[in-house]
Structure 1
Amino acid sequence: MRKRLLTGIALAGAMALAVTGCSTDSGGGDGDAGAGGGGGGDVITVGFAQTGSESGWRSANTESMKEAFSEENGFELVFNAADNDPAAQIQAVRSFINQGVDAIVIAPIVEDGWEDVLQEAKDAEIPVILEDRTVTASEDLYETWVGLDFTKEGEMAGQWAAETFTEPTKMVVLEGTTGSAPANDRAEGFDSAIEGTPIEKIDSQTGDFTRDGGKSVMEGFLSKYGADGIDLVYAHNDDMALGAIDAIEAAGAVPGEDIKIVSVDAVRDGMQALADGKINYIVECNPLLGEKAAELVKAVVAGETVEKRTIVEDQAFDQAAAEEALPDRKY
């Protein structure tokens, strides 16, 4: 196993990351993260390159990761959130390599552009685990991926739309971050599910997975088509759906009635809007991936063979299901 470099250079690298927004974090753990750690009980130093804090989903995902990669579970976590800047995220990964961490976990902002830095990590004998999102780079440049089936999420949302709208329907789409795996796959899955139905996609723009972005794009759609010219909104995440609700209400229309909304994530605010009838259907994207990611890191560092893909199952919710789930919702 590649040993951590506890040198002045590594310390300086860690200090530089702290200055630029990267900090060593150890959240309170909620139990053992998995199999025994590498090196016979040695602390495992993990660099985690997060996308940013663009949504409620992302915040829940970050907290799950911090809890799992805690001191109590045998880890030292070096955390960086790149504010959805792909270049900054790659720079953070290079800093982790220079520090000589034991493993690197990445939630890639976009799918492309990872070949060089992943090769650098491989040359340095530092295993890379992908979390949440995927990359287009060769699979031999990373050890494993843990996340959700974004295409299936889109299909589930599209199947609901296909069953619900049997008359001509005008739909607009609030896309996630351009080039990201969830945006690409959720669009593909939804489009395949509504093929041959009377649902017509009249416009589609990115809101970057943010509430402000969703509101701004929806305001543009309402200005262009009017509330009467839009029957359905498909939002790639709840935060954009919540922004769309704000825009629809400001335009004097009733979200969930005048304009139906289907979304993906099932974070608490989105579920509350579903329970309130302002969103009509939500497909879950479970953000609590930390425990499984920590299990995989420990296994990989210990030299164990792991599956190349680990998919966490999702659910779907209508209004009644949301009302039932909310009291015990963890995110």
Structure 2
Amino acid sequence: MNDAEILAATPDYISIGSMLKATPAMESGQRLIYLEASNEALDQQNEVVLQKALKDSADWFLRYGNLDIDHFSLIGKPNPAKGYAGIPDYQNYEIGRPLDVRFDGAKTFVKGEIYSGQGAAAEQANQFWESLTEIQPPARWYPSVGGSIMEKAVELDANTQARKTVIRKVRWSNIGFSKTPVNPAVPTVATVPIGVLVKSWGASGLDIAKALEAGYGTDSAQLSGGAALRKQSLHGNPIGYFELRNRLSEALHKGSLGKNPGIRDLIAHCTQKFGLSRDEAAECVERFMRDLKRGLKNRQAIRSGG
């Protein structure tokens, strides 16, 4: 992984659950969202969507699919032959488009862009985005995959012996966002990278050890206020952020955290080794990742003569 890839993969702010107030990830003014779309859990309709079904249809979804509210752009079209009046202005409930799809274990992750603009066509998109970014706490939106079922079968659950419907083949064309999830095992939509999306859009993870070679480009003289004076605890002994950062980078270089540690691995290490609470550890890891990104930018500026 080169420096440009590391810079692109490292968000300015990292959200671990509800521990941090996250600043939305913006790329060239795009309004980006990140979500776990499916995970093969049994939903409230007693159905399981196999990851393979979504993977086989991922290209179709990226080319023709959309993001909307409650699947209204799919189910809202009038059908006079069946006496269905439809949903007024159903097309305006389309609020965005998918940009990328990634798979990790049984989970399917999606990166999407929310439309922006003025007028009736952008109203639902603007309201959705504002509900995630302009109120505290952010509104909770849950994703649900939509499209045409091409093949399914009724099977017995190996654990409960209950009957369930397994969806094996789909034409995936939609993700609908709802306040009431069909699959309660799927987490809410995020405005910062989550899961495998944090890990450089791949299962192998971000090469933190290589990023450390760039240096941090941060010293205490650059900080002000409480950030310059803040101390953390190390099993009862005060420790400054810079000492913690050095110990964390040393652990990464030695491979103490595994081959490709993720954000949660870094937080767990800080809680176990440095005696921090999870909130403190998450804050330190967030700052640590920002330092890595800043160091890479400084090194690229030096190389280019900037």
Structure 2 length normalisation: TM-score?
A: 0.26
Structure with more relative contact order (C-alpha pairs < 8 Å, separation 6 or more): 2
Structure with the higher strand share, 1 or 2? 2
Q: Between Structure 1 and Structure 2, whose CA radius of gyration is higher?
A: 2
Structure with the higher helix share, 1 or 2? 1
